[in-house]
Amino acid sequence: MGEGRRIYDNIRRFVRYTLTSNAGEIWVMFLGPFFGLPLPLQPVQILWINLVTDGFPGLALGVEPAEKDVMRRPPRPPKESIFAHGLWQQVIVIGLLMGFLTLGVGLWGEATDRPWQTMVFTTLALLQLGNALAVRSERQSLLALGLRTNLYLLWTVVITTSIQILIVYWGPLQSLLKTEALSAQELLIVLVVSTGVFCAVELEKWVKRRRDLIVGQ
């Protein structure tokens, strides 16, 4: 029974991560022209995000170990939707947040004559990786889970982040993915904004834990 619950939880993790990430991409591409960014991402950049920053972390979430309280939870109703307990609301809210954070960076870059498209591309990719770390649990923080409890995901995030940086600064990959080198200031802004989704999901989980604690008193 415990293994069955772990598999079900991992399916929800995969669905939540994939749909929120895809929703973020859709909002960026849909809303970008309305804000004056006619082509927020190049086709090859969309392909990279879909294949790598979407695909590999999603697969790594599929091998997430069972949480400690998995057998203490009440059984789920047989007909309960996989989108129950706020999952579809998370898809909408986190997708919008991802989209607006990415477009915000792009608009600042465009207004200040920066390589805004590269900033959009890198911000969106890193936001998705932060999202992957945050959705490992619906209630437990990443600190409580520990980074080493899913080494597949940890290495996926580390390697993908490293390659993303190479794409920005290494000539052959710049040509392939249509990027430009970012200054230290531009990269810092991208890195700071890219923590936005991770922080938002972790804050949501903290609120849930506080609410559970108050209800249980």
Share of the chain above pLDDT 70, in %: 95
Please state the pTM of the whole predicted model: 0.92
Q: Which two tokens stand for residue 137?
A: 């649990």
| Chain segment 49-76, per-residue pLDDT in tens | 998 888 899 899 988 887 776 666 767 7
pLDDT at 180: 96
pLDDT at 200: 96
pLDDT at 55: 85
pLDDT at 1: 56
Residues near 8 by beta carbon (within 8 Å), at least 6 away in sequence: 76
| Chain segment 163-203, per-residue pLDDT in tens | 999 999 999 999 999 999 999 999 999 999 999 999 999 99
Could you give the domains of the chain? Answer: 2-216 (1.20.1110.10)
Quote the CA–CA distance of 89 and 92 in Å, as a whole number. Answer: 5
Phi, psi angle pair for 21, to nearest 5°: -65, -45
Lowest average pLDDT, out of 67-71, 131-135, 136-140, 183-187, goes to 67-71
Residue bearing the bigger pLDDT, 87 or 32: 32
Q: From residue 198, how far is each of 40, 111, 117, 165 by CA, in Å?
A: 22, 27, 22, 19
Has residue 217 got a pLDDT over 80? no
Q: Which two tokens stand for residue 148?
A: 């080493």
